[in-house]
Amino acid sequence: MKNQPALFAGRFENRVALITGGASGIGRAVVDRLVHEGAKAIVWDIDAAKLQACQNTHKDRVLTQRVDVTDDQQIQHALKEALQKFSQLDILVNGAGIVGPNGPFWQVEVSDWERVMRINLFGTFYVSRAVTPHLIDQGWGRIVNIASVTANEGPKNLGPYAASKAGVVGLTKSMGKDLASTGVLVNAITPALIATELLQQLSAEYMAAALSRIPLGRPGTLDEASALVCWLCSEECSFSTGATYDLSGGRGL
């Protein structure tokens, strides 16, 4: 993305976006595209080295903050600091996530189950809860929650991840309805395999099976993921809320 011209130059001029999990993978691709198209970005992640790399690339167009989305106190503190710097917030992308354990559910450690839920589901709730009053005050906002095709599928050996992402889809529906009269739209995407580091957490067996079930026969690209997320963040997306958008090369249908 970085070396390509903006597809929609200036689309996010005067917008400020907060992206969790924004230091790598899909989140970073979204940061790159939003900034490329005019936005300023607040990037939250727990990976300090990758945050620094993002800061080095985008300089004063971004504020990178080491924030764990499972920690509501960190969220409140970082949000206050970010709002002091940028004075506004228009867009939230909840991208922080982990896959967690691979294996049958009865062999999953309770601590692993809780970790996946806390990052993928609780984190989405905590950050949305903190940010939403600011979006309501402005009378305009876009929230995009990154779920997963596994939310609908419930794949074998991926119970905690699938359950956490199904939770995100359900939460998105309620959030969309709760905010329907405010100018703030909330939507989710359900990707299948997008070529990122997160895929390294999946077993070779899972990967082979997953690819065989994608009618388009390949993983999605980061550009394809950021294109959909950014459209959902834009003014052009105006008659969808609480919705879930498939991004699975046909697998999720």
**Residue located via tokens 């077993």:** 203
Q: Is 97 in the site for ligand NAD (CB under 6 A)?
A: yes
Count the neighbouring beta carbons within 10 Å of the beta carbon of residue 197: 9
Chain CA centroid to CA 250, Å: 20
Q: Is 70 in the site for ligand NAD (CB under 6 A)?
A: yes
What is the nearest approach in angstroms of ligand NAD to the Cβ of residue 216? 14
Pairwise CA distance, residues 194 & 68, whole Å: 23
Q: Is 224 in the site for ligand NAD (CB under 6 A)?
A: no
Using CB under 6 A, pick the residue from 16, 194, 227, 229 that binds ligand NAD.
194
What is the nearest approach in angstroms of ligand NAD to the Cβ of residue 62? 14
Q: Is 27 in the site for ligand NAD (CB under 6 A)?
A: yes
Which residues touch 197 (CB under 8 Å, ≥6 apart)? 24, 25
Q: Is 119 in the site for ligand NAD (CB under 6 A)?
A: yes
Q: Is 199 in the site for ligand NAD (CB under 6 A)?
A: yes
Q: For this structure, is 126 an active site residue?
A: no
How many CA atoms lie within 13 Å of 141's alpha carbon, on the beta-carbon side? 28
List residues bridging with 93 in a β-sheet.
19, 144
Q: Is 141 in the site for ligand NAD (CB under 6 A)?
A: no
Which residues touch 248 (CB under 8 Å, ≥6 apart)? 149, 190, 191, 192, 214, 220
Using CB under 6 A, pick the residue from 98, 171, 185, 232 that binds ligand NAD.
98
User: Which residues are identified as catalytic?
Assistant: 161
List residues binding ligand NAD (CB under 6 A): 20-21, 23-27, 44-47, 50, 68-70, 95-98, 119, 123, 146, 148, 191, 193-194, 196-199
